[in-house]
Amino acid sequence: MSNKRVYSSLTKKYVMSLMGLFLITFLFVHLGLNLSVLKDLGSGDYPTFNEAAHFMATNPFIQVFQWVLFAAFLIHIIFGLILQFQNWASRPKGYKVKGSAEENIFSQYMIHTGIVIFIFLVIHFVNFFMVSKGIIPGIQHVKINGEEMENLGKVIVDVFHNGYYVTFYVLALLLLGFHLDHGFQSAFQSLGLQNKKYGPFIKGLGHVVAIVLALGFIIIPLVIYFTK
């Protein structure tokens, strides 16, 4: 019954954790950028947001880094799936009475929240990234401080006027919050950066990170939708 694995279970967990924490730092940058659109509401040109988005889209460092980001997403997803399939295979027959001793209910559903977030990511990619790059046509241009740039702010506000999309967005981001609530402290545990003394602090910080990110992203479509 040889079951030799290419990477040990622990190595895969290290990779999952590092990619996960990296993606969290990205989410904070992304949130900061998104919140600036609220400042511009009613302007039509969305100067703060468009300028920031334009900087991100043209800065050579960010351009290179964006591929690192794609790679991190891909690795996190692929390793997550491999680990999950192995986990399912480790218990071919389940229990009649399911256990429920998990400390955090969300820890049972990482693969499920992960799949919804992935679907969201694909839709998100089509709606915003591909439109901003002109792969999907229709983006308008504005002149801000004498420089011509894409009016990405308008794309966002238009999309967030659609009630169905806002509902889906809010639900997906809630699930992201659940995913992070377990994921954040889990990453520290997997990397061995947890003990009796700092453990509670890391778990508490994980709750804060999850709530700040989820609510931060959710507020934006809600404000846009209800003030249109």
Partner 1 sequence: MDLKLKIWRQNGPDDKGKFVDYEIKNISTDASFLEMLDILNNELIEKGEEPVAFDHDCREGICGMCSLYINGHPHGPDAATTTCQLHMRRFKDGDTIVVEPWRAKPFPIVKDLIVDRSAFDEIIQAGGYISVNTGGVPDANTIPINKGKADLAMDAAACIGCGACVAACKNASAMLFVSAKVSQFALLPQGRIEAKERVKKMVAKMDELGFGNCTNTYACEAECPKEISVTNIARMNREFFAAKVSS
Give residues in contact with partner 1 (CB under 8 A).
Answer: 1-5, 8-14, 83, 86-87, 89-104, 107-108, 110, 182, 185-186, 189-196, 199
- Name the minimum Å distance from CB 115 to partner 1: 15
- Name the minimum Å distance from CB 127 to partner 1: 31
Q: How far apart are CA 125 and CA 132, in angstroms?
A: 10
Beta carbon nearer to partner 1, 14 or 168: 14
Beta carbon nearer to partner 1, 57 or 77: 77
- Name the minimum Å distance from CB 140 to partner 1: 45
- Name the minimum Å distance from CB 85 to partner 1: 10
Beta carbon nearer to partner 1, 60 or 94: 94
The CA-atom distances, in angstroms, between 103 and each of 121, 186, 220 are 28, 12, 31
Beta carbon nearer to partner 1, 10 or 68: 10
